[in-house]
Amino acid sequence: MSSIPLDYETLRLIWWLLLGVLLIGFAIMGGRDLGVGTLLPFVARTDDERRVLLNLVGPTWEGNQVWLVLGGGAIFAAFPPLYAVSFSGFYLAMIVILLALILRPVGFKFRGKVSDTRWRATWDWALFIGGFVPSLIMGVAVGNVLLGAPFHIDDTMRIFYTGNFFQLLMPFALLAGLVSLGMIVTQGATVIAGRTEGPIAARARTYGIWAGLVTIVLFALAGVWVAALNGHVVTSVIDPNAPINPLAKTVDLVPGGWLSNYATYPWMMAAPIIAFAGLLVAVISLRGGLKLVALLGSSAGIFGIVSTAGLSIYPFFLPSSTMPNAGLTLWDASSSHLTLFIMLLATAFFLPIIVLYTGFVFRVMRGPVTSDSLGKNPNAY
């Protein structure tokens, strides 16, 4: 391993950051589409208006899904124990998310095949489900991470998950789900307000203002709740270059322990500050008709909220509620030194391509989407 120019500790930290980048990327880019889908039955009142929203996200939603795929792939390759626990323990929740997401491409393709009001209304509500359900359940999953997942590891390093789907629906987890839903609805509203005109944009601004304000309140409430939770704190010495062994550490449950990182690393306070400030900027900008500023503010709010969750549980990825010392951290749940390095080389090549391609697509698709523009496009939904 001496030929690898980066040490194991550095590579582990880099991949922790990259995983955060991928998850934030999906929350911002995928949140555009999920938010528009959630608002579809409410912001758009006529068939023409709903077609406008479909064509607002239809050309780009598949590309935005790349961030989700990359996030799952990064967990699988860079942090196999985390993949094993989360993708098996949260299996039913993930199936529900995937089934909801499947409704989106089906809805786009089939909605316009029949000129029947009931047929199209059915697919409109299917598209709503495809936006609402993932937005809510992904937040519920984050809430369960802060609560700790019910799993343990035996002496042979076998992982056993002992929970069930309904145990995921705890009050705090549902609150986290509402925070996620609120921030994504705000994101969708800023996109609609920024790229449509007339009554659609006006309704989107109203929904976005209320969603932003509600998200601010719910995020603050979640912060107060987190301060009362038992946080997991590693009390043994951490060897950042040690091989994988989650059971080698000792962990204590400390009331308010999830906030200890902010005392140890004061710079982390920037994350919740950015969350509140970004959402407030989005609300004010929506009221003032500042389209681009509203979108940037909402995106900053998402960045801050997701970062706050990730920084609060550092260095944990997935704490265990039934066997605290089995909780998975970035120091004991990563792949080998060589694997992380090879993956980093691949990422350094492909990630800039993805970013450049995404920027190119959004530049080509820029401009307002209106009923008139749809009439000129034979490929419109």
What token pair was written down for 130? Answer: 């495809």
Q: Residue 161 — φ and ψ, nearest 5°? A: -95, 130
CB count within 10 Å of CB 236 equals 11
In this prediction, residue 219 carries a pLDDT of 97
In this prediction, residue 363 carries a pLDDT of 85
Query: How distant is the alpha carbon of residue 346 from its chain centre?
Result: 23
Residue 376 domain-assigned (yes or no): no
**For the segment 49-72, what is each residue's pLDDT rounded down to a tens digit?**
888 898 888 888 888 888 888 888
Residue 379 domain-assigned (yes or no): no
Is 234 in a helix, a strand, or coil?
A: strand
Residue 307 domain-assigned (yes or no): yes
Distance in angstroms between the alpha carbons of the first and the last residue of the chain: 54
Identify the domain containing residue 200 by its residue range: 8-363
Contact 319, 232 (CB under 8 A): yes
**For the segment 308-343, what is each residue's pLDDT rounded down to a tens digit?**
999 999 999 999 999 999 999 999 889 999 999 999
Q: Residue 26 — φ and ψ, nearest 5°? A: -70, -40
Residue 372 domain-assigned (yes or no): no
In this prediction, residue 269 carries a pLDDT of 95
Report the C-alpha dihedral over residues 19, 21, 24, 30, rounded to 10 degrees.
Answer: -90
Q: What is the pLDDT along the chain (381 residues), one digit of tens a residue?
A: 457 788 899 999 999 999 999 999 999 999 999 999 999 999 998 888 888 898 888 888 888 888 888 888 889 999 999 998 888 888 888 899 999 999 988 988 888 888 888 999 999 999 999 999 999 999 999 999 999 999 998 888 888 888 777 788 899 999 999 999 999 999 999 999 999 988 999 999 999 999 999 999 999 999 999 999 999 999 998 888 888 888 889 999 999 999 999 999 999 999 999 999 999 999 999 999 899 999 999 999 999 999 999 999 999 999 999 999 999 999 988 999 999 999 999 999 988 988 898 888 888 878 788 777 776 666 667
pTM of the predicted structure, to 2 decimals: 0.92
Residue 380 domain-assigned (yes or no): no
DSSP annotation string for 36-91? HHHHHHHH--SHHHHHHHHHHHTTTHHHHTHHHHHHHHHHHHH-HHHHHHHHHHTH
Contact 85, 151 (CB under 8 A): yes
Q: What's the number of domains the chain is made of?
A: 1
DSSP strand E in 200-315: where?
230-234, 251-255
Please give the DSSP secondary-structure letter assigned to residue 7. -
In this prediction, residue 375 carries a pLDDT of 66
In this prediction, residue 2 carries a pLDDT of 55
In this prediction, residue 369 carries a pLDDT of 81
In this prediction, residue 86 carries a pLDDT of 87
Provide CB contacts within 8 A for 106, sequence distance 6+: 123, 126
Q: Exposed, middle or buried by CB within 10 Å (0-12, 13-18, 19+), for 314?
A: middle
Is 328 in a helix, a strand, or coil?
A: strand
Residue 374 domain-assigned (yes or no): no
Q: Please tell me the total number of residues recorded for the chain in this structure.
A: 381
Residue 213 domain-assigned (yes or no): yes
In this prediction, residue 109 carries a pLDDT of 86
Residue 371 domain-assigned (yes or no): no
